[in-house]
C-alpha cells in the first residue's frame, strides 16, 4: 500500500484533523506547496462564512480565498483559510495516509490552484518561509 501522489491543487479530506489549539474536526485541505525535498503546505477549507464575503476569488487582505458552492468540487460555499497554512513533513503526510486519516478527494483545476497560490503570495499574514514552499505551479491536464 502506498500514499496518494501529492500535487499542487490536490484536495484531501482529513479525518480528525488537529488544529493548533488541539481541537479536532473532519476537514478538507488544499495542497498549495508540494515541492520535492521540502515540507508540504496546505490550507484548511471551511464552509462557515464567519462574516467573510461571498465574492469568489482572492481576498488576500482578509486572508482567504472563496470558492462558490457547487463549483470546483466543493458542494458548499468554501473559504480557504490562507492566513493559517498547515506545514507538514512528507513523513507526517505518509503516516496519515497509511493510517487512512487522509484521503484524496479531487483535484482543483490548474488555473484555480495557481490563483490560490498567487493569492497566498499577496497575503500579508503568511510568512515568507511559507511563501517559499508554494508550488510548483499546477499544470493543465495532458491532452
Instruction: Give 17-66 pLDDT, tens digit per residue.
Output: 887 788 888 899 999 999 999 999 999 999 999 899 999 999 999 999 99
DSSP per position, 101-135: SEEEEEE--HHHHHHHHHHHHH-TTS-HHHHHT-B
Domains and CATH numbers, the chain: 10-132 (2.30.30)
Tens digits of per-residue pLDDT, 86-132? 999 999 999 988 888 899 999 999 999 999 999 999 999 999 999 99
Per 3-state DSSP, the chain is made up of helix, strand and coil in percentages (nearest 5) of 20, 35, 40
Are the beta carbons of 7 and 107 closer than 8 angstroms? yes
Q: In what order do the strands lie in the sheet with 40-46?
A: 57-59, 64-67, 78-88, 40-46, 24-33, 10-18, 102-107
Q: State the Cα–Cα distance between residues 60 and 47, nearest whole angstrom.
A: 18
DSSP 8-class letter at 61:
G
Query: Looking at residue 84, what is its pLDDT?
Result: 87
Using the predicted structure, report yes or no on whether residue 15 has a pLDDT greater than 80.
yes
Q: Which residue has the higher pLDDT, 32 or 3?
A: 32
**pLDDT at position 1:** 47
Q: How much is the pLDDT for 139?
A: 85
Pick from 90, 113, 103: which is nearest to 36 by CA? 90
Amino acid at each position: 500500500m502506498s500514499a496518494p501522489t501529492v500535487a499542487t491543487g490536490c484536495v484531501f479530506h482529513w479525518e480528525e484533523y488537529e488544529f493548533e489549539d488541539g481541537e479536532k474536526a473532519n476537514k478538507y485541505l488544499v495542497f498549495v506547496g508540494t515541492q520535492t525535498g521540502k515540507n508540504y503546505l496546505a490550507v484548511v477549507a471551511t464552509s462557515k462564512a464567519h462574516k467573510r464575503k461571498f465574492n469568489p476569488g482572492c481576498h488576500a487582505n482578509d486572508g482567504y480565498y472563496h470558492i462558490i458552492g457547487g463549483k470546483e468540487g466543493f458542494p458548499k460555499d468554501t473559504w480557504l483559510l490562507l492566513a493559517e497554512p498547515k506545514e507538514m513533513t512528507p513523513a507526517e503526510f505518509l503516516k496519515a495516509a497509511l493510517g487512512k486519516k487522509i484521503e484524496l478527494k479531487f483535484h482543483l483545476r490548474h488555473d484555480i490552484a495557481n490563483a490560490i497560490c498567487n493569492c497566498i503570495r499577496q497575503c500579508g499574514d503568511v510568512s515568507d518561509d511559507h511563501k517559499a514552499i508554494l508550488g510548483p505551479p499546477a499544470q493543465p491536464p495532458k491532452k
